[in-house]
Amino acid sequence: MRQKRSQIIVGKFHLDLDRVLEIEKESFGRRAWKADQFRRYAAQFPDLFLVAKVGSTIAAYSVASTRGDRAELDSIAVAKDYRNRGIGRAFLTILIDKLQQMGFATLSLMVRRDNVAAIRFYRGLGFRRIRTVPFYYEGGETAWRMRLELK
């Protein structure tokens, strides 16, 4: 069953850092960010650290930052129990709409070159690969830089 966009409530991160960390750990395992990294983003970019709630449960989060007229999607994850329901797509679409309304020209991100599902997801939203970045990730993994034009 697909999750309708109208059923997702978007709120600021401060609702539940423990839940955000839980989603982060189940999504990224040993590569998961620590609480301090999330706190820094929340302090520096409070309007762009969002959670998606389904009912009363936080189902996803996203962390974005900005520089000039460019935005960067630094992290996004959907809780395991809520994957493949359209929540990620709806949530990222809400973030894109918010960034457009704020006047940003582009939204960029980095993704592991071998993360085929994520690349397919981002391409489905209009992102395109603009370059390959060797040794971007810890352990020497290669990343793709992807960008979405917002204007």
DSSP-derived secondary structure letter, 77? E
Tell whether 72 is covered by a domain.
yes
Determine the structural domain holding residue 42 and report its residue range. 5-109+116-126
User: What is the domain-level CATH number for residue 77?
Assistant: 3.40.630.30
Asked if 42 contacts 49 with a C-beta cutoff of 8 angstroms, the reply is: yes
Q: With respect to residue 49, please indicate whether it lies within any of the assigned structural domains.
A: yes
Which contiguous run of DSSP H or E holds residue 17?
A: helix 17-28
142 falls within a domain: no
CA 87 to chain centre: 12
Count of domains forming the chain? 1
For residue 95 the two structure tokens come to 């973030």
pLDDT for 50:
87
pLDDT of residue 6: 35
The tens digit of pLDDT for each residue in 13-25 reads 555 889 999 999 9
For residue 133, what are its two tokens? 């970045």
- Is 73:145 a contact under the CB 8 Å cutoff? no
- The reported pLDDT for the residue numbered 10 is 55
Low-confidence ranges of the chain (pLDDT < 70): 1-15
